[in-house]
A and B are shown apart, each in its own frame.
Chain A
Amino acid sequence: MSGGEIKTAISTRGVTRDFQAGQETIRVLHGIDLDVRAGELTYLVGESGSGKTTMISIMCGILWPTDGDVEVFGTDIYALSDNELVNFRLQNIGFIFQQYNLIPSIDAASNAAVPLIAQGMDRLEARKRAVAMLEKLNIADQADKLPNQLSGGQQQRVAIARALVHEPRLVVCDEPTAALDAKSGRRVMDLLREVGVAEDRSVIIVTHDNRIFDLADRILVLEDGRITHDGTDMPDDH
């Protein structure tokens, strides 16, 4: 972190989210107020059903809140039109999914280039930049391989490359270390910090992998749709 003014990456105010289960309305998030700072690696931790997936989906603009406001780097994202929101995500947010969700029929470099191609960049140029990102992640030699020819760890690096190739200001990760051994998991976290965290950038990670809790700048614990802990360490009772 720099010594300058700390910027806010994500700001939520009074965010609630209800789901309909038959006749019953279930409130998953209860008016959450939260500021995620830029330049930090923030963990969102909680048990299954605590609302962390819903919370992260709302924070990155892919699930509308029932109520409340969400600003990402100063933009009230749910005030945008559908197309503007899609474009906002494309320009500003990178995603790393738990199951990677790489496209099976195209090679690693093309997978990593997807956001750039979606932005309208020339395919060759996009591929060149994707290969450069894969090089940063030490798997440029796998650029021509299809996802099913790569190991789990290599697929994850391709997914990380896809999340970072367009230099988004916010990177959202869902359980990035769940399928990895402890050593690989820590390496991935180091990588994310190295390439994703900067003065005007932020990485937010949903996890319940206690092997990497010590690597967080900030840990938010979500229980029953409410933030019950906000600190640099996990609370003792977890």
Chain B
Amino acid sequence: MLTGDKQKFYGLLFGIAFSTLLITQQLTIFVNLIERGASGVYNVPTADVWVMDEVSRTTDVNFPMPATALDKVRGVAGVEWAVPHLRANASVRTQEGDLEGVGIVGVDDATLIGLPKNMIEGDINVLAQPDSVIIDDVGVTNLFENGQSPIGERLELNDQRAVIRGIGDSIPSFTSQVVLYTKYSQALRYVPGTRNRMTFVLVGASDGVSPDELTKRISEQTGLRARTRDEFAQDGVDFIIENTGIPVNFGITVVLGFIVGVAIVGLTFSLFIRDNIKQFGALKAIGVTNRKIAGMVAVQAGMVGMIGYGLGVLGTVGFISAFSGVPQFKGFYIPWQVPLVSFAAMVLIIALTGWVALRGVMKTEPAAVFR
């Protein structure tokens, strides 16, 4: 019955698909966006433990430590290696003469630990050359227009010269800020001088020592804050959730998606029932039970729901694929929990609106068919 009425069939399909698309797409963007709060951690996959001043909260919200902290950490049993890591902000003058805020990441001079795992262009060893920096791909888009190659370009960084000699393949930060990677010693020149400038110590655990155990040891023996990689990544995510309006804004959009779904599907369902009330009455008069009618409608609604849901999820996949080339959307993926949430929302929409619409059928007297 439902599938035979093309207008209402497509109406229901649109309602479900649109609602699923809105819920899935918005939740996907939300999850990916807040995960960007952990991008600084994900970009350094080799570090098992991050050590910092006890007031530091994330890779971007940090407080520098004295250089002696590095030796303290190295003295803790179970530390395989420990290297200094600097993260700070600076201003760069662009080719057009504008100022752009950039993140400076200073990585260990000897081991280069702290760089992104992969390079898009160039080699990590370019940092051995004087004034070298590696720019991330967001920086290429933001600072260089029309596909111009940044390699060899000079930047003025807090009155210091910087030459771009490579492009790093990194996960963009939450604010998609341009990030320049350089050696720790070089980074100290770019960051305006304060007595303490080392923001983190990156640590590798010895074989047989778990990161959890190591963080406890480091905290106890140095008085510094030590977090495992996963803990510190979660700290970044939590910071965004707690300090921005993003969860509320995305939550409102998801709720709106649900309400739009209920409205469109509910209205179409009601119209379908109203238009076919004589047929339902006839079936009831013939001797088809309410349960069978409800089952019949449920099967058809379920089928429409599944098709609409599939289209909505496909739409989200299409959206993510279409924007995968844009640096701000780089690495976006659909977590498996998101389609499950939108599936539950779709089932709820169908069940809620179907139940309301079917109440009319249940209450219909079969005698109405003769009137």
Contact = CB atoms under 8 A, between A and B. Distances in A.
Contacts of A102: 279
A62 B4 contact: no
Interface string A82-93: 010011111101
Given A53-B370, A56-B370, A99-B278, A104 B5 contact: yes
A31 interface: no
A114 B370 CA distance: 19
A187 to B, nearest CB: 23
A62 B288 CA distance: 12
Interface residues of A, number: 32
A146 B4 contact: yes
Interface string A73-99: 000000000010011111101010111
Contacts of B283: 103, 114, 118
Majority secondary structure, B binding face: helix
A101 B281 contact: yes
Interface stretch (B57-65, B130-138, B361-369): B361-369
A104 B1 contact: yes
B297 to A, nearest CB: 12
Contact of B365 (A63, A86, A91, A114): A63
Nearest to B366: A62
B4 A104 contact: yes
B365 A62 contact: yes
B309 to A, nearest CB: 21
A57 interface: yes
Contacts of B286: 89-90, 95, 114-115, 118, 162
A56 B370 CA distance: 9
A56 B289 CA distance: 21
A89 B288 CA distance: 9
Nearest to A63: B367
A121 interface: no
- What bracket does the count of chain B residues touching chain A fall in? 20 to 34
A66 B178 CA distance: 82
A162 B4 CA distance: 19
A95 B292 contact: no
Nearest to B371: A53
Contact of B292 (A54, A56, A91, A118): A118
A86 B286 CA distance: 8
A105 B289 contact: no
B366 A97 contact: no
B31 interface: no
B287 interface: yes
B287 A118 contact: yes
Contacts of A98: 370
A174 interface: yes
Interface string B236-266: 0000000000000000000000000000000
Interface of B: 1-5, 276, 278-279, 281-289, 292, 365-367, 369-371
Interface of A: 53-54, 56-57, 60, 62-63, 83, 86-91, 93, 95, 97-99, 101-106, 114-115, 118, 146, 162, 174, 206
